[in-house]
Copies of this chain bind each other. A is one copy, B any other.
Amino acid sequence: MEPSTPSSGACNEHTPSMCRAREILDRVGDKWSLQVIALLGERTKRFTELKREIDGISQRMLTVTLRGLERDGIVSRTVYPVMPPRVDYALTPLGRTLMDAASSLVRWAETHLDEIDEARAEYDVRAAETDALKSM
């Protein structure tokens, strides 16, 4: 049920800080975590609300993602024992610091994604040309 990564214990002696970076990417680098964090950054939300706002996520993956974030102390989960059930999710203070840290990456993405797409296109063209030469 839990695909949580035990991960490698051994680190890299040359890149101690990067090794740690790997650890956080193991936590927020997956397909959905950052989106959940961003949405909860706006305000506390309910399960269905999140599901509705995150395009393409399945119930299962939303559950798994939220559990992981909760386990890591990034998201808090509040259950109201009513009928029908109601559960609120919110960022913890720790989660908020993570959101801030991630925001520089988000800004980078907004700024440079076009350049990446360009670079890709050029690279693919060159690759196609090279292929054409080889098959002559």
Contacts and interface: CB of A to CB of B under 8 A. Distances in A.
Contact of A120 (B41, B72, B98): B72
A interface residue count range (under 10 / 10 to 19 / 20 to 34 / 35 or more):
35 or more
A13 interface: yes
Dominant secondary structure at the A interface: helix
A91 to B, nearest CB: 11
A97 interface: yes
Contacts of A53: 12, 14-15
Interface of A: 1-2, 5, 7-8, 10-15, 17-25, 27, 29-31, 34-35, 38-39, 41-42, 53-56, 70-74, 94, 97-99, 101-113, 115-116, 118-120, 122-124
